[in-house]
Structure 1
Amino acid sequence: MRDVVFTRRSGWIPNVVRVDGELKLMLGAGADANHEPRTFMFPIEETHRAVIQEDLARHLLLWSAVLPLCDAAGTRGRLDEEAAVALLDPVLLSAPGDVDAIFRRIPWARGRLVAHGADIDLLERGQVWAAMRGATETSDGKRAQKYHADRRRAERGTVLGPLDSAILMYTGQYLHGSTVPKRKSDAVDPALLPEVLRVVATAEEACAGMWISRDPRRGKRATDKRDWTRMEAAVDAAVRRAHPELVDDAVRTVTFLMCSEAADRSRNTPMTPMEDDGRAAGGPAASGDRAGKAVLSFTDDKGLEKKWRRDQGRSADAEFWEFVGDRSAADNEVFTIEDEEMGEGIQLHFYADSAARITTVREGAGGTDPEYRVEYCLVDGVRGYRSLVTAFVRGGCAALERHGPWMADVADFERARRRRGAA
């Protein structure tokens, strides 16, 4: 039978319980293999209970010292009770100087003390006892997260200035650099907000007119990595030139903000450069081009076929890339567009950044197989593929000539591929 002897308002701070007549300290820490919280207990004496109940600072210090032992127990191991009990007297009953000394020799959970109001400067100087003079029973998790984020930066040699910190707060990336950035003006000190917005305006001006188009080779909502890299480089250079005092973390978060917003616009806008290649190339939009193919067949490497007809309304380009976005996968990276009436087609090899144009030289007759001419070319990213598709839709294999060079000799083509791979 277990009875609670002493507990604080915050449920996570260790409780004193009595189990079959024996006093124990009980705390929750870590998780088991099913991600459920683990509970640990170890015996204490009445003298320890009295200090725990009367002295919040020592109670929190003991918690901080025991947590690494709980972490060491893992998802199913046993708590090292002997080591836990050995901490009781030094932490709860020793003089302040001795407490500092024990914390210089053992691992302890810094973030836990920071969350409960410890003075960070004193903690960093090893004055653990003095740091806990302002300890609070309530916990501030964000304060601990900020502390850990600052320590990680310090380990990399990064020290944030006020504007750097404000920019990271503005994008929501102060605590976690992998968080998708957003614009959070209310998170910034009003006195610094105008400076932050000037930096953001510099970034916006640097990428004005640029876009990050979708890359259906990697799924319906994937975006073009090359477009991302291009915009990232432009923003990075402009921000560093205009604001040389900013640290790398601040510059990176602004470039990430610009690129992620551009990618979101592409994903959420019905008409994108992927579907409007003609306009991007300076010609009439493909969706309005009625001089191109009338009927086309799309197939993938799994044998699935889809027919497109001009009278369906949407352009062949848009229908084909939607087909690719729906079907493309690691084991499905070859897609073909065929004009059966003209006896020609183009095959895209996404896995090899290459393509083949196929024309019928002689129709099969009398039981003989038809004869085809196959020519290969290297392709430069998804924009190169979009240009090939648009050209074929409008003018067939003849319109692909300027997108070469096209190589009929497979050995020549393989040598070209290897040269590009080595460059």
Structure 2
Amino acid sequence: MSDIVLTRTGWIPRVVRDGDGLRLQLGAGANANHDPRTFSFPISKAHLDVLRDDLARHLLLWVAVLPLCSAAGTEGPLDEDAAVALLDPILLGSPAEVDAFLRDVPTELITLVRYGADIALMERGQLVESLHAATEEADIQRAQTYVANRQRAKRGVVLAPLDEAVLKYVGHYIHGSTRPGRNPDAVDPELLPEVLAVVATAEQAAEGLEIHRDPRRGKHATDKQDWKRMTTAVEEALGRDHGRLAADAVRSVAFLICSEAADRTKNSPEPDRVVGPGAKTALTFTDEDGGDEQEWRANDSTQGAAAAFWAFVTEHSGNDVFTVEDKNLGEGVQVHFYADTAARVTTAVPGRNGAEPQYRVEYALVDGMSGYRALLDTFVGGGCAALDPHGPWMLDPEELERARKGRDLGKSRP
């Protein structure tokens, strides 16, 4: 069993006595089962003395050895000769010699940031001096901030103090894709009023807009078209009233406002919009892809027809074609989610004396979920005869296909 000779906090390599010798031991990488791997290589008493007295040299040796551990992969051995070759140049050289040596050696500099390196000195290659205030305690957030700023710099993004404050408020200063929130304590109190003014502008722009659920994509999915509409409204308002805000800050505020709007409706039941004496009282819902069918009767259901249909769609999400039919009147609506189109079907010639009825089928384009909701509400409230405003309705499927392609081409144009 090895005796520990020198240890520091966290993952900083430790020195152990192995028989009559000393070895530097560190955990790095993982095996095929994702368990951490442990590596070690021999060092001398002179190296131990430096490691014990000089945290900066200890950290620099560590970040130079880490790439060798990565090269070992999930099963390979550490290249001990290469590791030993790092010892004298890093631990026994002068600061200038160490800096010159490390310019030609792969290192994980982000680790130095985590342990307090002066970033400006580090980026100038003055690694030893950059660690004059290094600590044994890692600051993960400092390293994450450094990476985020580097990535923004690569995109040519320069943040003003207000941009930084807005991103910190939303929770996107480090990770721009995380779930947004409101974090006033993360903002410099002097900048907080300006940040709140930015958010207030966004809230006013989104007033009256909603982000509904999209039952076509499951129980908790939101309507992408609604999201895009609200995003556009917020971004335009911020561009008008806060034109100096960086695009990153504008996007994050829009994301915040849209996420909050979606949360207000995500877990809410589909509202019943159709009431009155003319509304349908008995309908059949059919999943044309899966062959499932459900009867709905007003007297037997706690939901209105529209809410019940969208619940049926949610249960069969992933399918693309559904029908709502009033069998008593011989009319119905078929929706084609894959193409944003619909068909209304009416009985042209009733079936008599054993003959099959003949149906009239007309097609129309539909503008996303809002269009489908309006179409269904109109049908439930007044049947196929009330659907004329949702046209133009086309008898020829080829004419519908031409209209659909023309619409889709128009959407793809900038």
Structure 1 length-normalised TM: 0.92
Question: For residues 354 and 78 of structure 1, what CA distance do their matches in structure 2 show?
Answer: 61
Query: Any unmatched runs of 5+ in structure 1?
Result: 277-284
What secondary structure is seen at the aligned counterpart in 2 of 1:415? helix
**Do the aligned partners of 2:144 and 2:174 also contact (CA within 8 Å) in 1?**
yes
Partner of 2:187: 188
What secondary structure is seen at the aligned counterpart in 2 of 1:360? strand
> Any idea what the Cα deviations from partners look like across 1:228-275, whole Å, max 9, x if unmatched?
1111111111112222222111111111111111111121444xxx52
The CA deviation at 1:20 is: 4.5
> Quick check: 1:319 aligned with 2:318?
no
**Do the aligned partners of 2:10 and 2:137 also contact (CA within 8 Å) in 1?**
no
Partner of 1:382: 369
Partner of 2:24: 25
Question: For residues 194 and 364 of structure 1, what CA distance do their matches in structure 2 show?
Answer: 72
Question: For residues 72 and 388 of structure 1, what CA distance do their matches in structure 2 show?
Answer: 61
Matches within 5 A, 1:95-110: 95-110=94-109
The CA deviation at 1:394 is: 1.1
1:422 corresponds to which of 387, 409, 414: 409
Query: Any unmatched runs of 5+ in structure 2?
Result: none
Deviates more, 1:204-213 or 1:362-371: 362-371
2:280 corresponds to which of 290, 293, 299: 293
**Do the aligned partners of 2:340 and 2:367 also contact (CA within 8 Å) in 1?**
yes
Amino acid of the residue matched to residue 379 of structure 1? V
Amino acid of the residue matched to residue 275 of structure 1? P
> Any idea what the Cα deviations from partners look like across 1:304-358, whole Å, max 9, x if unmatched?
11111112242111111111112111xx111111111111111111111111112
Question: For residues 79 and 363 of structure 2, what CA distance do their matches in structure 1 show?
Answer: 67
What secondary structure is seen at the aligned counterpart in 1 of 2:383? helix
Question: RMSD value over aligned CA atoms?
Answer: 1.7
The CA deviation at 1:109 is: 1.4
Deviates more, 1:365-374 or 1:308-317: 365-374
Partner of 1:401: 388
Question: For residues 14 and 126 of structure 1, what CA distance do their matches in structure 2 show?
Answer: 23
The CA deviation at 1:38 is: 1.9
Amino acid of the residue matched to residue 271 of structure 2? E
The CA deviation at 1:366 is: 5.3
Partner of 1:64: 63
> Any idea what the Cα deviations from partners look like across 1:201-245, whole Å, max 9, x if unmatched?
111111111111111111121111111111111111111222222
Partner of 1:335: 322
Question: For residues 108 and 5 of structure 1, what CA distance do their matches in structure 2 show?
Answer: 25
The CA deviation at 1:375 is: 1.6
Partner of 1:74: 73
What secondary structure is seen at the aligned counterpart in 2 of 1:308? strand
Amino acid of the residue matched to residue 2 of structure 1? S
What secondary structure is seen at the aligned counterpart in 2 of 1:105? coil
Question: For residues 107 and 101 of structure 1, what CA distance do their matches in structure 2 show?
Answer: 12
> Quick check: 1:392 aligned with 2:388?
no
Partner of 1:5: 5
Partner of 2:247: 248
Partner of 1:147: 146
What secondary structure is seen at the aligned counterpart in 2 of 1:211? coil
Aligned residues: 408
> Any idea what the Cα deviations from partners look like across 1:117-147, whole Å, max 9, x if unmatched?
1111111211111101111111111111111
What secondary structure is seen at the aligned counterpart in 2 of 1:170? helix
Partner of 1:165: 164
2:292 corresponds to which of 299, 304, 311: 304
Amino acid of the residue matched to residue 328 of structure 1? S
The CA deviation at 1:185 is: 0.7
